[in-house]
C-alpha cells in the first residue's frame, strides 16, 4: 500500500531485517543510570556461579574419601567436606538472591523511563500521525515493548550471563583436570546447539513477526468495533463485525499454527544434539574408569558437570527465542520513538507574547494531502478583544482554522500571526496555554465529571469548578445526579448525552480562562432553550478576549464584530450581520433558509 505524501508513519521493519545491536544501543542509556547496581549484581552473579561450580568438586572429594578407613571417614568427611558442601549450596542461593535484590530496581526503573519517554513522544507527534494509526494496535505495540524490556533484562542477567559464566568455568575445569577430549566434547556440543538454535530461530523470526502483526490487527479491529458500539447497533451489523473480526483471528490462527510447528522442529533438533553430547561424554568417562585413569569420584564429577550444563543449555534455546522476540518487540516500540515530530519548536522559539492578542491569518493555504488543498489564500484578522465568526457549509475548511491555530498542523502557504509574531516562532506549550476551545465533537475521559471539568485547570479548587459548571448551565443537572460531581462519565463520555458533554466542554474551557477563545460549533448539540442561555454566557466570556467562532447556526453569530463566509476554502463574503444581510449574497441565503427551517420545525 502506498503511503500518502505527508505520512508521518515510520517505515515498518522488513521481514528478516533484525538489528539487535542497534536496539540494545538505544536501550543502554536507560540502564546507565543504574550502572553501580548493575556492577554489584554482576559481582554477586559470578560469586554464585563459582559456588555452584565448586559443589561437584566437593562432591567428588566426598565420594573419593569414602575409600579410606571407616574411622577416618567418620571424622574427615562429615567434619570438613560435608560442611563445605552445605556452605557452597547455601552460598549459591545467597548470592543469587542478592543479585535479584540489587537488580530489581534496575529493571523496573528502565521500564518506567522508556514507557514515559514513549508516552511523551506520542503526545508530541502531530495529529496526522494519530489519525493514520489505529489506537488498538499502537497500545498493543507499547504494551509488548514495555513487557519485552523487562523480559530482556531478566533473561540477560538471570539466565544468559549466569549460563555463559558457568559454561566457561566448567570447560576451564575440564581442561585443567582431565584430557582435552572432555572439554572438546562439551564445547562442540555447546557450539552445535547454539548454531542450530540461531539458524532455526532466524527462520522462525518472520513467522513470529507475521503472527504479531496479525495479533495487533485483530486487537485493533476489536477495539475499533467496541468503541463504535452504538453505530454497530444502529445498523444491526453485529454479525458483520463478528465476521470481520473472525477473519482477522483466522489469519492470526494460521500464522500461530505455523509458528508452533516450527517450534517443535527446533525442540527436536536441540534434544538430539544434547543427547549426542551426553552420550559421548559418558562413554569417554566410563572408558576412563574402566582403564583406571579416573576414579568413581571423577565420573560423578563429570556427570554432575553435565547435569549442570544440560539444564541451562536446554533452557538456553528457549531464552534465545524469547530474547529474539523481545528485541523485535522493543525494536518496534523504539520505531515509534524514531518517528519524526512533524510539528516541533524551533531552537529560538519564545513564549507567547503577553495579551491582549491580535490574531491574523495572512494568505493562508493548507492541504492535509497535497493532492487536495483545503484552504486557499485565506486572510482574516481578529483584533484584540474582538470576535470573528466564520460560517459556511460543511467541508469548507472552518474547523481547519482552529487546528492550524493550535499548531496541530503547520500552514502550507502563508502564515498565522499573533501580535505580528508567526506561530512557528512561539513555543507550542505556551501557545496552547493561551488558547481555549470548545470543540464540536467533545470526547471526555473515563473519569468523574469533576475531573473532566477540572482538566481545564488541574490546580483549580472545587469551588471554581462548580462556578464554571454554573456558567455552562450544568450545575443543576450535576446536582440531580446520585453521585453529583463524582459521577463517572464512561468511556469517551458515552454515559452523557451530546448536549451534556458539550456543556462539560464549555465549563472546562471557561475554567481554563484563556486569552484566546475558539468556539467550534460550541452549541450544536444543545436544544434551543439551553442554547440561548449558554449563548449569553459565551458572549460574556468572550468580552475582552480575542474570540474565533466557527458556526453553522447563524443565530449564534449575530453579535460577532465581523462575520466571514468560507466556501470551498476561500473567503467569499465578510462583514457584520446587518451588512451581510444587506449584501443579499450567500450569507443572506443561508439566513433565510435557516429561518424557514426553524419555522417549519
CA distance 242 to 246: 6
Contacts of 352 (CB under 8 A, 6+ apart): 418, 426, 427, 430, 431, 433, 434
pLDDT at 135 over 50: yes
pLDDT at 312 over 50: yes
Residue 543 corresponds to which cell in the numbers above?
Answer: 468580552
Confidence of residue 11 (pLDDT cuts 50, 70, 90): very low
Better-predicted residue by pLDDT, 203 or 580: 580
Residue 372 φ/ψ, nearest 5 degrees: -140, 85
Q: How would DSSP label each residue in 226-283?
A: HHTHHHHHHTT-HHHHHHHHHHHHHHHHHHHHHHHHHHHHHHHHHHHHHHHHHHHHHH
pLDDT at 415 over 90: yes
What is the reported pLDDT for 307? 67
Cβ atoms 565, 552 nearer than 8 A: no
Residue 553 corresponds to which cell in the numbers above?
Answer: 447556526
Mean pLDDT throughout 96-111?
73
Q: Give the domain ranges of the chain.
A: 20-337
| CATH T-level fold of 20-337 | ABC transporter transmembrane region fold (1.20.1560)
Residue 4 — left, alpha, or beta (φ > 0 → left; ψ -120 to 50 → alpha)? Answer: beta
For helices 180-227 and 238-290, give the axis angle rounded to 10 degrees: 170
Grid-cell match 566426598, residue found? 62
Mean pLDDT lowest for which of 77-81, 84-88, 582-586, 593-597?
Answer: 77-81
Q: Please tell me whether residue 447 adopts helix, strand or coil conformation.
A: coil
Longest dimension (CA), the chain: 125
SS (H, E, C) 567-579: ECCEEEEEECHHH
Mean pLDDT highest for which of 20-29, 187-196, 446-455, 516-525? 446-455
Question: Residue 198: which of 273, 146, 305, 279 has the closest Cα?
Answer: 273
What is the reported pLDDT for 66? 57
CA distance 61 to 297: 7
Confidence of residue 162 (pLDDT cuts 50, 70, 90): confident
Count the neighbouring beta carbons within 10 Å of the beta carbon of residue 14. Answer: 9
What is the reported pLDDT for 76? 46
Cβ atoms 492, 443 nearer than 8 A: yes
Helix ranges (DSSP H) in 66-179: 70-76, 83-124, 127-132, 135-155, 161-177
What is the reported pLDDT for 380? 92
Cβ atoms 481, 500 nearer than 8 A: no
Long-range (24+ apart) CB contacts under 8 A made by 472-479 are 472/503, 472/504, 472/506, 472/507, 472/510, 472/534, 472/537, 473/503, 473/530, 473/533, 473/534, 473/537, 474/500, 474/503, 474/504, 474/506, 474/507, 477/503, 478/449
pLDDT at 178 over 60: yes
What is the reported pLDDT for 599? 72
Residue 290 corresponds to which cell in the numbers above?
Answer: 574402566
What is the reported pLDDT for 3? 39
SS (H, E, C) 344-355: CCCCCCECCCCC
Mean pLDDT lowest for which of 9-18, 33-42, 289-298, 394-403?
Answer: 9-18
Confidence of residue 369 (pLDDT cuts 50, 70, 90): confident
Mean pLDDT throughout 48-62?
65
Residue 214 corresponds to which cell in the numbers above?
Answer: 496479525
Contacts of 303 (CB under 8 A, 6+ apart): 282, 285
CA Rg value for the chain = 35
User: What secondary structure letter does DSSP report for 461?
Assistant: -
Each residue's pLDDT tens digit, 492-517: 777 888 778 888 888 888 898 888 98
Q: What is the mean pLDDT of the chain?
A: 79
Question: Residue 559: which of 349, 366, 388 has the closest Cα?
Answer: 388
Q: How would DSSP label each residue in 341-395?
A: PSS---TT-BPPPPSS--EEEEEEEE-SBTTB--EEEEEEEE-TT-EEEEE-STT
Each residue's pLDDT tens digit, 542-593: 888 899 998 888 888 888 899 999 988 899 999 999 999 999 999 999 888 8
Confidence of residue 74 (pLDDT cuts 50, 70, 90): very low
CA distance 521 to 212: 42
Residue 253 corresponds to which cell in the numbers above?
Answer: 490462527
Amino acid at each position: 500500500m502506498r503511503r500518502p505524501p505527508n505520512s508521518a508513519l515510520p517505515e515498518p521493519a522488513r521481514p528478516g531485517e533484525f538489528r539487535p545491536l542497534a536496539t540494545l544501543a538505544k536501550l543502554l542509556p536507560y540502564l546507565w543510570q543504574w550502572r553501580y547496581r548493575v556492577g554489584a549484581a554482576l559481582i554477586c552473579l559470578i560469586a554464585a556461579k563459582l559456588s555452584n561450580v565448586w559443589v561437584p568438586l566437593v562432591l567428588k572429594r566426598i565420594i573419593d574419601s569414602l575409600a579410606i578407613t571407616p574411622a577416618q571417614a567418620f571424622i574427615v568427611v562429615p567434619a570438613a567436606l560435608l560442611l563445605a558442601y552445605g556452605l557452597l549450596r547455601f552460598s549459591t542461593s545467597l548470592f543469587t538472591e542478592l543479585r535479584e535484590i540489587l537488580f530489581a530496581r534496575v529493571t523496573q526503573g528502565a521500564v518506567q523511563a522508556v514507557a514515559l519517554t514513549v508516552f511523551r513522544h506520542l503526545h508530541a507527534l502531530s495529529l496526522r500521525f494519530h489519525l493514520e494509526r489505529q489506537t488498538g494496535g499502537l497500545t498493543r505495540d507499547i504494551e509488548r515493548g514495555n513487557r519485552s524490556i523487562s523480559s530482556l533484562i531478566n533473561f540477560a542477567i538471570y539466565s544468559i550471563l549466569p549460563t555463559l559464566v558457568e559454561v566457561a568455568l566448567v570447560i576451564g575445569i575440564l581442561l585443567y583436570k582431565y584430557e582435552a577430549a572432555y572439554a572438546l566434547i562439551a564445547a562442540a556440543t555447546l557450539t552445535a546447539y547454539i548454531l542450530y538454535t540461531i539458524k532455526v530461530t532466524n527462520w522462525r523470526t518472520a513467522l513470529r513477526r507475521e503472527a504479531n502483526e496479525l495479533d495487533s490487527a485483530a486487537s485493533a479491529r476489536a477495539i475499533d468495533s467496541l468503541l463504535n458500539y452504538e453505530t454497530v447497533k444502529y445498523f444491526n451489523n453485529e454479525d458483520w463485525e463478528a465476521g470481520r473480526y473472525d477473519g482477522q483471528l483466522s489469519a492470526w490462527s494460521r500464522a500461530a499454527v505455523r509458528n508452533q510447528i516450527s517450534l517443535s522442529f527446533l525442540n527436536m533438533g536441540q534434544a538430539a544434539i544434547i543427547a549426542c553430547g551426553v552420550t559421548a561424554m559418558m562413554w569417554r568417562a566410563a572408558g576412563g574408569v574402566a582403564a583406571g585413569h579416573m576414579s568413581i569420584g571423577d565420573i560423578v564429577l563429570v556427570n554432575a558437570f553435565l547435569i549442570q550444563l544440560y539444564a541451562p543449555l536446554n533452557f538456553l534455546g528457549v531464552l534465545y527465542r524469547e530474547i529474539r522476540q523481545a528485541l523485535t518487540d522493543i525494536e518496534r516500540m523504539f520505531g515509534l520513538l524514531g518517528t519524526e515530530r512533524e510539528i516541533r519548536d524551533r531552537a529560538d522559539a519564545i513564549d507567547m507574547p503577553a495579551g491582549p492578542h491580535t490574531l491574523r491569518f495572512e494568505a493562508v493555504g493548507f492541504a492535509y494531502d497535497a493532492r487536495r488543498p483545503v484552504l486557499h489564500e485565506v486572510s482574516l484578522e481578529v483584533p484584540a478583544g474582538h470576535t470573528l465568526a466564520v460560517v459556511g457549509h460543511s467541508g469548507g475548511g472552518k474547523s481547519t482554522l482552529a487546528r492550524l491555530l493550535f499548531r496541530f498542523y503547520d500552514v502550507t502557504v502563508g502564515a498565522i500571526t499573533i501580535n505580528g509574531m508567526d506561530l512557528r516562532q512561539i513555543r507550542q506549550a505556551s501557545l496552547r496555554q493561551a488558547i481555549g476551545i470548545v470543540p464540536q465533537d467533545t470526547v471526555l475521559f473515563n473519569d468523574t465529571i469533576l475531573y473532566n471539568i477540572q482538566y481545564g485547570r488541574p490546580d483549580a479548587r472545587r469551588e471554581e469548578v462548580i462556578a464554571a459548571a454554573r456558567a455552562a448551565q450544568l450545575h443543576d443537572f450535576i446536582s440531580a445526579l446520585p453521585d453529583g460531581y463524582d459521577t463517572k462519565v464512561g468511556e469517551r463520555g458515552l454515559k452523557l448525552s451530546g448536549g451534556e458533554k458539550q456543556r462539560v466542554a464549555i465549563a472546562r474551557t471557561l475554567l481554563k480562562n484563556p486569552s484566546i477563545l475558539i468556539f467550534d460549533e460550541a452549541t450544536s448539540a444543545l436544544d434551543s432553550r439551553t442554547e440561548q442561555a449558554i449563548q449569553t454566557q459565551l458572549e460574556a466570556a468572550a468580552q475582552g478576549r480575542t474570540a474565533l467562532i466557527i458556526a453553522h447556526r447563524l443565530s449564534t453569530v449575530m453579535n460577532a464584530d465581523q462575520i466571514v463566509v468560507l466556501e470551498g476554502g476561500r473567503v467569499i463574503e465578510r462583514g457584520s450581520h446587518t451588512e451581510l444581510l444587506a449584501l443579499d449574497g450567500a450569507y443572506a441565503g443561508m439566513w433565510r433558509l435557516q429561518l424557514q427551517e426553524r419555522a417549519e420545525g
